[in-house]
Structure 1
Amino acid sequence: MRFVLTALLWLLTTVALAVAVPAVWAQQHLVSEQGYAELAASAATETRLRDAMADVLTTQITALAADRGYSLNEMLVHQVAAAYTGNAGFPGQFAQANRIAHRWMFTDDIPHADADDQWLIDIAPMLSDPSLSATLGDLDLDVPDTLTVPVTAPSPELRPGRLQAIATWGPWVSAGAAVLTGTFALLTLAASRRRGKGLAALGVSALLVGAAGWAGLEVADRHIAAALDRAEGDFRRIAEVMVGHAEDSLHHWLNMTLIAGLALVVTGAVASMLGGLRRPE
């Protein structure tokens, strides 16, 4: 009976851990506005993203100038935009732009709710950056307070605040999964006849979850590629870099899970050996 109880608790621990790892990661890096902004800032250090954003800014600067009667050399404008995206302040401003995009999807604080079928990003702060203004000289571009450009093609599946429920319940789900994992793990150890074997079993749980996570990401790649097809123009390149950084971050969490599992297996095996040596023959 005790073996059955221990096996059941071990299974529950494994399931809870399989939910907790991706849930806590997603809460910290995607659902949390601060975490998403930090992810964007990290991705903005990549040359591919900087180049793509320079193309976006070139298009918008040229269009603004045309509206005010100026005809600009796109090559020169691109050089100015590339210099801006290459400076040290760009990642922070790119992160701020993504905060607004995050609010569009995760909250009802939506400054541009008139476009209800596209994911938008506000690039006005970038165009208003002093380094850009100084380089462009005396041009009066009169950048508006908000200048949104579409990240995705129009889709009925996209609407402001669509993921608001996830933002509301995500912290509770991730915290609950983590608490349940810890609780079931302690109960598994308490129910085990030998603590060493219990630790090793918990290590196997972590190894299974880490390996399953890697396999799951490989399967998810095809669906991610399909989702990226909705991105507009240069934003497809930007999205690819950001997705790559997100996957690298999740891979790191899964690797840490595997390392923790291996450490528990080794610790449990050593504890079992030492326990066996202490037993009288």
Structure 2
Amino acid sequence: MRLVTTVFLWLVTTVLLAVAVPTMWAQRHVVSEDGYASMAASAADDAQLQQAMASELTTQILAFASDNGFELNRDLVHGVAAGYTGNAGFPGQFAAANRIAHRWMFTDSAQQEQGSQGRWLIDIAPMLNDPSLRETLGNLDLDVPQTLTVPITVPETTGLRPGKLRVLATWGPWVSIGATILTGVFALLTLSAARARGKAIAALGVSALLVGAAGWAGFEIARGYVNDALNRTTGDIRTVADVMVNHAEDSLHTWLNITLAAGGVLVVLGVVAAMLGGLRRPQ
């Protein structure tokens, strides 16, 4: 009976850990607006993203100038934009620009901001208002508005709608924290119920190894769906989105690798504890 109880508690712990790891990662880096902005700022250090944003900013500056009766030299504007995306202030402003994309996904405020267009937008006004760019535009008497949004996806090609992921923002913190706490509780219960503590520790290590390996496999399967979503974007924004997804993938892989490493350590500790326990037993 004790063995059955221990196995049951171990299984529950494994399931809870499988929930806790991805939900904690998602809450910290995706659902949280600050976490998402921080990840965007980190991705902005990527040279490919910087080049894509320089091209997108060039396109927007030329279009904005043309609407106001000015014709600019593309190469000159691109050079200024590339210099801006390569400077130290770009990551922070890129993160600020991405906050509107996050609000689009996770809150109702984005729907109120964007009316009935239903588009996923990124606000590039903070970048265009950077002193290094604004000085160039100011010489042309161009007044950049406080908000200048660029569409990332269009309604006809995506199932996403403003605020559709709001439920994740509401329940995500509760699920992630609850799963983490319950994982710890059931792990302790497993150790308490087990007759051989060393073997129980090793079994918990196996749980972490299973979760880490399953996470890697699961993401490889999910990557196909992510690529389908990315294919609904075009041009330079497609490149920007691809870099951000790759950066998020690297972050998740780090969490999974830590889970695998922790599992390996627990297995070793459990085996050592079991061996020491065996030596203490009277022959």
TM-score range, shorter chain: over 0.9
Q: Deviations over 1:27-63 (max 9, x none)?
A: 0000001110010001000011001101111011001
- 1:104–1:160 contact (8 Å) kept in structure 2: yes
Give 1:151's aligned residue: 152
Counterpart code for 2:212: G
Counterpart code for 1:20: A
Q: Deviations over 1:95-142 (max 9, x none)?
A: 001112111111122263225422001111111111112244611121
Shift of 1:218: 1.1
Cα distance in 1, alignment partners of residues 90 and 109 from structure 2: 24
Unaligned runs of at least 5 residues, structure 1: none
Shift of 1:91: 0.2
Give 1:181's aligned residue: 183
Give 2:24's aligned residue: 24
Shift of 1:90: 0.2
Counterpart code for 1:73: N
Deviates more, 1:76-85 or 1:138-147: 138-147
User: Counterpart of 1:151 in 2: which secondary structure?
Assistant: strand
Counterpart code for 1:219: I
Give 2:139's aligned residue: 138
Give 1:101's aligned residue: 101
- 1:10–1:201 contact (8 Å) kept in structure 2: yes
Shift of 1:162: 1.1
Q: Deviations over 1:214-270 (max 9, x none)?
A: 111111111111010111321110011000010000000000000000000000000
User: Counterpart of 1:82 in 2: which secondary structure?
Assistant: helix
Give 2:47's aligned residue: 47
Q: Is 1:224 matched with 2:217?
A: no
Counterpart code for 1:134: E
- 2:137–2:143 contact (8 Å) kept in structure 1: no
From 203, 206, 209, the equivalent of 1:207 is 209
Give 2:130's aligned residue: 129
Alignment of 1:56-95 (within 5 A): 56-95=56-95
Cα distance in 2, alignment partners of residues 264 and 77 from structure 1: 56
Unaligned runs of at least 5 residues, structure 2: none
Cα distance in 1, alignment partners of residues 4 and 121 from structure 2: 53
TM-score after normalising by structure 1: 0.97
- 1:150–1:232 contact (8 Å) kept in structure 2: no
Cα distance in 2, alignment partners of residues 259 and 92 from structure 1: 32
Give 1:268's aligned residue: 270
Moved over 3 A (4+): none
User: Counterpart of 1:149 in 2: which secondary structure?
Assistant: strand
How many residue pairs end up in the alignment?
281
Shift of 1:158: 2.5
Distance 1:24 1:89, change over 3 A: same
- 1:116–1:159 contact (8 Å) kept in structure 2: no
Cα distance in 1, alignment partners of residues 250 and 272 from structure 2: 33
